[in-house]
Amino acid sequence: KQEVTQIPAALSVPEGENLVLNCSFTDSAIYNLQWFRQDPGKGLTSLLLIQSSQREQTSGRLNASLDKSSGRSTLYIAASQPGDSATYLCAVISSGAQKLVFGQGTRLTINP
Amino acid sequence: EAEVAQSPRYKITEKSQAVAFWCDPISGHATLYWYRQILGQGPELLVQFQDESVVDDSQLPKDRFSAERLKGVDSTLKIQPAELGDSAMYLCASKQGLNTEAFFGQGTRLTVV
């Protein structure tokens, strides 16, 4: 059974810092991994999708990496802004199934 | 820009009552998911459809929950009777194919009193 873990559960940093969010998964047989952002009381917004054959994916100030063999992904946020404050969730789709399995999320606060 | 539509956004119901949620996925998306998210936790799958067929409902409490996607387009999730522990955010998502992004709706916040 696939299990996804995100550490830390919460993170608070001053504006302008670069930061890294971590995601680990137990079964390396995955199709892809997707990072989401969730604002309080809202749905999930897709940030990046990384296919199993890719090592990284970039969108603006965001860069996601994937090391399938070690079961790890990181989301790098450059030059953080207060508007980046949200909960960040990673989800994997395992081979043989099409459901997304989520981590618990990292609650990020960027202080002005 | 195409979106996954969900209604209602908020629902308050008394325990033992019936409640229903509706989801309209992005046009052309064959896969539709219903997830439940308890505050402070990650979403957990309730049911997954491929077109009109159920692919995975292993975590759906079938004694009180039901889901349908009759024409392979929009979907309804029903709870009867609702229990206090059903209070959560119910999220619908859709995707076009295996290696494509999943897109989520804004969710329905259910409060059972």
- CB contact (8 A) between residue B102 and residue A4: no
Chain A neighbors of B49, CB-CB under 8 A: none
At residue B98, the pLDDT reads: 82
CA–CA dist A73, A62 (Å, integer): 13
Average pLDDT, integer, range A60-85:
97
Residue B1 has pLDDT above 80, yes or no: no
CA–CA dist B50, B54 (Å, integer): 6
At residue A94, the pLDDT reads: 85
Residue B43 has pLDDT above 90, yes or no: yes
Closest residue on chain B to A94 (Cα): B98
At residue B100, the pLDDT reads: 92
DSSP letters, B8-53, are -SEEEE-TT--EEEEEE--TT--EEEEEEE-TTS--EEEEEEETTE
Helix (H, G, I), strand (E, B) or coil at A27: coil
Cβ contact B15:B113 at 8 Å: yes
- CB contact (8 A) between residue B50 and residue A32: no
Q: Calculate how close chain A gets to B6, using CA atoms only, in Å.
A: 10
Per-residue pLDDT tens over the stretch B47-84: 999 999 999 999 999 999 999 998 889 999 999 999 99
At residue A98, the pLDDT reads: 83
Per-residue pLDDT tens over the stretch A16-69: 999 999 999 999 999 999 999 999 999 999 999 999 999 999 999 999 999 999
In one-letter notation, the amino acid at residue B80 is Q
Q: Please enumerate residues of A whose Cβ is less than 8 A from a Cβ of B.
A: 4, 31-32, 34, 36, 41-46, 49, 51, 89, 91, 93, 97-105
Chain A neighbors of B33, CB-CB under 8 A: 99-100
- CB contact (8 A) between residue B43 and residue A44: yes
Q: What percent of chain A has pLDDT over 90?
A: 93
At residue A96, the pLDDT reads: 74
At residue A95, the pLDDT reads: 76
Mean pLDDT, rounded, of chain A: 95
Nearest to B11 by CA among B94, B82, B70: B82
At residue B2, the pLDDT reads: 85
Q: Is A20 exposed, middle or buried (0-12, 13-18, 19+ CB in 10 A)?
A: exposed
Most A-contacting residue of B26, B101, B111 (CB-CB within 10 A), to test interface: B101
Closest residue on chain B to A6 (Cα): B42
Residue B35 has pLDDT above 90, yes or no: yes
CA–CA dist A35, A4 (Å, integer): 12
CA–CA dist A93, A95 (Å, integer): 7
